[in-house]
Amino acid sequence: THFGYRTVPEESKESLVRGVFDSVASNYDLMNDAMSMGVHRLWKDEFVGLLRPGSKGPVRCIDVAGGTGDIALRMLDHAREKYADRETSVDVVDINAEMLRAGYVRFKKTMYHDTSQIAFHEANAQDLGQERFLSNSYDLYTIAFGIRNVTNIREALAEAYRVLKPGGTFACLEFNKVTNPILAQLYDQYSFSVIPMLGSILAGDRDSYQYLVESIRRFPSQWDFAKMIADAGFATGEHHSGNGGAWRDLWGGIACIHTGVKV
Ligand code: SAM
């Protein structure tokens, strides 16, 4: 059956998204590699490299929609390998307990397990909770391939702004709009036919992967999203060259990094 996701009312989107990630949690990392042909690793490396955690870089980090801890692990490795820094910490937050559990199990095999460097929390990006996540408490807020799943992006941005310290950085890695028409056409064919097919072959779940593709199409353009970040109170446009904007396109805009600084 096809769920007709385009017509799903806003209120039920959260439970829908939770269901999608419940069903994909166990083979999420494998599917990521299969669908992006490993490219998501390069993008995540570039993302973390740009943010430079460690020693002088961000100390207290929160990774929202952090899933199985892919970004968190890179952050901690970057700090340790580059600066022998074991002071950097990441709070991984996700709405989905299954994804968090997979992340927890994965971290058990690392040296960060059972240290103050890593913690997993179940919470909604739109309302992290004033008591659990204090205002002005983080140096860096990251969200990778997560914000397009959030029902109300403006609320999530307001929460990011709240929990960051003044001078702290907001950074988002997300699929975005491909501007080159030839690349856009190839990418469309790939994502609308190959990805749902891989979803059904490798995970036995075509609909969840169909949803993922459609959620990418509905996400605002680079320009519109940068505007939303600025509207939330962040200073943007300091870090990037080329387009003069507040973002850095990866692979022609298939993915994109947006940043902003809390002022
Ligand atoms: N950041 C990880 C990565 O890059 O591999 C995981 C990305 S995964 C595509 C998206 C994640 O967003 C899922 O783990 C999902 O449970 C989470 N998510 C969706 N809506 C959320 C919300 N409102 N609040 C927090 N997490 C959410």
Question: Could you tell me if the CB of 47 is within 6 A of ligand 1?
Answer: no
> Quick check: 35 pLDDT over 80?
no
Question: Could you tell me if the CB of 69 is within 6 A of ligand 1?
Answer: no
Atom of ligand 1 nearest to the CA of 212: 9
Query: What is the rounded distance in angstroms from the CA atom of residue 92 to the CA atom of residue 165?
Result: 18
> Quick check: 4 pLDDT over 50?
no
172, 248 contact by CB (below 8 A): no
pLDDT tens across 196-206, in order? 888 888 778 88
Backbone phi, psi, residue 236, to 5°: -125, 165
Q: How confident is the model at residue 238 (pLDDT cuts 50, 70, 90)?
A: low
Residue 145 Cα to ligand 1 midpoint, Å, equals: 7
Residue 85 Cα to ligand 1 midpoint, Å, equals: 27
Does the ipTM exceed 0.85? yes
Other residues' Cβ atoms within 10 Å of the Cβ of residue 37 = 10
Residue 65 Cα to ligand 1 midpoint, Å, equals: 3
Q: Round the average pLDDT of the chain to a whole number and report it.
A: 87
Q: How confident is the model at residue 244 (pLDDT cuts 50, 70, 90)?
A: very low
Of 100, 145, 155, the one to substitute when testing ligand 1's pocket (max ligand atoms within 8 A of C-beta) is: 145
Q: In sequence order, what are the residues at sequence separation of 6 or more whose Cβ sits closer than 8 angstroms to the Cβ of residue 42?
A: none
Question: Could you tell me if the CB of 208 is within 6 A of ligand 1?
Answer: no
> Quick check: 7 pLDDT over 50?
no
Mean pLDDT value of segment 105-128? 97
- Structure pTM? 0.89
Residue nearest (by alpha carbon) to ligand 1 atom 19: 149
Question: Could you tell me if the CB of 255 is within 6 A of ligand 1?
Answer: no
Report pLDDT for 23.
Answer: 65
Tokens of 187: 């990418």
Q: How confident is the model at residue 2 (pLDDT cuts 50, 70, 90)?
A: very low
Where do we find the tokens 């570039």? Answer: 46
Burial class (CB in 10 A: 0-12, 13-18, 19+), 77: middle
pLDDT tens across 82-112, in order? 999 999 999 999 999 999 999 999 999 999 9
Of 10, 12, 17, the one to substitute when testing ligand 1's pocket (max ligand atoms within 8 A of C-beta) is: 17
Multiple choice CATH, 37-177+220-262, 3.40.50.1820, 3.30.70.270, 3.40.50.150, 3.40.30.160: 3.40.50.150
Q: What are residue 100's DSSP bridge partners?
A: none
Other residues' Cβ atoms within 10 Å of the Cβ of residue 65 = 26
Atom of ligand 1 nearest to the CA of 124: 24
